[in-house]
């Protein structure tokens, strides 16, 4: 795919607004939520960047064990808040010594997961979603505008059956849908018309061939993909998962000599080198790039989300997808498969679907990149692109700088590459 295809028209104000954050320390955006830890949070905690939060979160999970009940990054105070249920004083002291703000909550991780299973059994209604919200220590259940009448009553009953203090229920003004239409990205011809999605991240497949990740519902919809609406196919779907345990596809380039650098096109000739795959953290500042709406930013609001999309093949059916990242970043049709990443070059997710648009806002859900890499056996980056940041960053890479690592050196957004017009086959990280 020629790089000139990556220099898409991005909404000028939106691109400039989000791009302004692609600078050192941009991950310290303000939390739109409660402005700090809930009452009862205590202990001294160290100041840390959002890029360090997932690393501390992983350590706390090991320290706390069954007492761990979720965590989130308080970007206002630049601290990680960890929820604890029970646990001895020594465990809590260890968590505080590790650098977190510790607060006691009522619902354990096991109880929240059991509640989510109950919702899956009783309330898998098209237009609904749920995810654990560590800021409240509850499950946040969302219903879109199509959930009315008997279905709304059924959903309310299911939430109430969980017991007081276990879940909250809210309405969304939009409609949950996948975003696989409209855009200027990767194209496929199917019976009845064209499908258009966005490329997520370039990878190396397990057999060493160049490939990329995109949304699973894109890979299910079509097998052959092109860089132009009327162009010949240049890539073929190798694996696709949707619905079920994820929404991701591995698509291999047909030409094994394709140069596929590990970077995201951020619009206006700017690229962000992608150096690793990382786990998302609630409260983390993130960026989404998609072929329809370009670059937008926001925050992670939930993890391990379940979304019930209306089935596109069965009018009475539901396509349930689990294990997603929930955000307040906007997206629109054609952005499916596009990149969710951080300003320091960490790959987080692939755009799945959601509600709303980039005028009024809404919720957008993303497939975690780490899960997609493990499932497909692919490696972030391109073995054939020796200059690409992140070549060799594998499926098991975790987020955050390790002990002694340098998380303060930003990748930023460079001005190279995205506007090449030489026709060479050199795709960037997204379209």
Q: How far is CA 304 from the centre of its chain?
A: 11
Average pLDDT of the chain to the nearest whole number: 79
Domain ranges of the chain: 3-28+177-380, 50-104
Residue spans of beta strands (DSSP E) within 358-408: 364-368, 379-380
- CATH architecture assignment, domain 3-28+177-380: Beta Barrel (2.40)
Other C-beta atoms closer than 10 Å to the C-beta of 403 total: 6
pLDDT at 230: 78
CA 348, CA 363: separation in Å to the nearest integer? 16
Residue with tokens 């299910």: 220
Which position has the higher pLDDT, 291 or 247?
247
CA 366, CA 340: separation in Å to the nearest integer? 7
Average confidence (pLDDT) over 356-364: 89
**What pTM was computed for the model?**
0.77
Burial 307-324 (b: 16+ CB within 10 A, else e): bbbbeeeeeeebbbbebb
pLDDT band at 87 (very low <50, low <70, confident <90, very high): low
CA 368, CA 216: separation in Å to the nearest integer? 12
Cβ partners under 8 Å of residue 249, min gap 6: 213, 214, 215, 216, 218, 219, 220, 237, 239, 240, 241, 242, 337
Other C-beta atoms closer than 10 Å to the C-beta of 24 total: 12
Average confidence (pLDDT) over 85-95: 82
pLDDT at 379: 93
Give the least confident one: 33-37, 115-119, 125-129: 33-37
CB distance 147 to 129 below 8 Å: no
CB distance 123 to 154 below 8 Å: yes
pLDDT band at 186 (very low <50, low <70, confident <90, very high): confident
CA 396, CA 29: separation in Å to the nearest integer? 28
pLDDT at 100: 93
- CATH architecture assignment, domain 50-104: 2-Layer Sandwich (3.30)
Cβ partners under 8 Å of residue 51, min gap 6: 27, 342, 344, 346, 399, 400, 401, 407
pLDDT band at 361 (very low <50, low <70, confident <90, very high): confident
**Strand pairing class (276-277; 346-354):** parallel
pLDDT > 90? residue 51: no
CA 16, CA 21: separation in Å to the nearest integer? 9
- Quickly count helices (H) and strands (E) in the chain: 7, 24
pLDDT band at 382 (very low <50, low <70, confident <90, very high): low
Helix pair 149-161, 109-122: axis angle to 10 deg:
150
pLDDT tens digits for 121-178? 999 999 999 999 999 999 999 999 999 999 999 999 999 999 989 999 999 888 887 7
Average confidence (pLDDT) over 416-427: 31
pLDDT at 231: 81
Give the least confident one: 85-94, 253-262, 338-347, 356-365: 85-94
Residue positions annotated with a catalytic role: 217, 247, 336
pLDDT at 22: 56
Phi, psi for residue 193 in degrees, rounded to 5: 145, -155
φ/ψ bin of 101: left (φ > 0), alpha (ψ from -120 to 50), beta (otherwise): beta
Residue with tokens 């505080």: 96
Nearest to 337 by CA among 176, 185, 200: 200
């Amino acid at each position: 795919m020629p790089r000139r295809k990556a220099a898409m028209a991005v909404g000028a104000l939106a691109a400039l607004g989000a791009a302004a954050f692609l600078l050192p320390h941009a991950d310290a955006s303000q939390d739109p939520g409660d402005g700090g830890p809930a009452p009862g949070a205590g202990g001294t905690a160290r100041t840390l960047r959002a890029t360090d939060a997932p690393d501390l979160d992983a350590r706390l999970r090991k320290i706390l064990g069954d007492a761990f009940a979720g965590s989130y990054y308080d970007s206002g105070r630049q601290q990680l808040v960890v929820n604890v249920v029970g646990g001895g004083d020594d465990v809590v002291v260890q968590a505080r010594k590790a650098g977190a703000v510790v607060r006691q909550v009522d619902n354990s991780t096991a109880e929240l997961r059991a509640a989510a299973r109950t919702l899956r059994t009783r309330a898998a209604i098209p237009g609904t979603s749920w995810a654990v919200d560590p800021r409240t220590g509850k499950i946040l259940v969302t219903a879109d505008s199509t959930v009315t009448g008997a279905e709304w009553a059924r959903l309310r009953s299911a939430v109430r059956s969980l017991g007081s203090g276990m879940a909250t229920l809210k309405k969304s003004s939009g409609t949950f849908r996948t975003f696989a239409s409209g855009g200027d990205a990767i194209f496929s011809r199917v019976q009845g018309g064209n499908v258009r999605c966005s490329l997520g991240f370039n990878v190396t497949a397990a057999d060493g061939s160049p490939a990329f990740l995109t949304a699973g519902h894109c890979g299910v919809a079509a097998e052959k993909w092109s860089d132009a609406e009327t162009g010949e196919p240049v890539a073929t779907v190798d694996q696709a998962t949707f619905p079920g345990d994820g929404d991701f596809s591995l698509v291999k380039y047909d030409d094994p000599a394709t140069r596929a650098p590990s970077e995201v096109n951020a619009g206006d000739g700017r690229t962000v080198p992608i150096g690793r795959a990382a786990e998302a953290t609630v409260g983390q500042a993130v960026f989404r790039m998609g072929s329809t709406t370009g670059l937008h930013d926001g925050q992670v609001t939930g993890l391990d989300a379940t979304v019930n999309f209306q089935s596109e093949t069965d009018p009475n059916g539901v396509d349930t997808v689990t294990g997603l990242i929930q955000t307040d970043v906007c997206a629109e049709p054609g952005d499916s498969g596009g990149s969710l990443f951080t300003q320091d070059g960490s790959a987080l997710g692939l755009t799945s679907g959601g509600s709303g648009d980039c005028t009024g806002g809404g919720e957008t859900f993303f497939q975690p990149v780490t899960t997609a890499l493990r499932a497909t056996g692919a490696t972030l980056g391109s073995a054939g692109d020796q200059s690409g940041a992140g070549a060799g960053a594998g499926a098991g890479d975790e987020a955050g700088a390790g002990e002694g690592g340098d998380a303060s050196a930003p990748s930023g957004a460079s001005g190279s590459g995205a506007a090449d017009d030489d026709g060479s086959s050199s795709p960037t990280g997204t379209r």
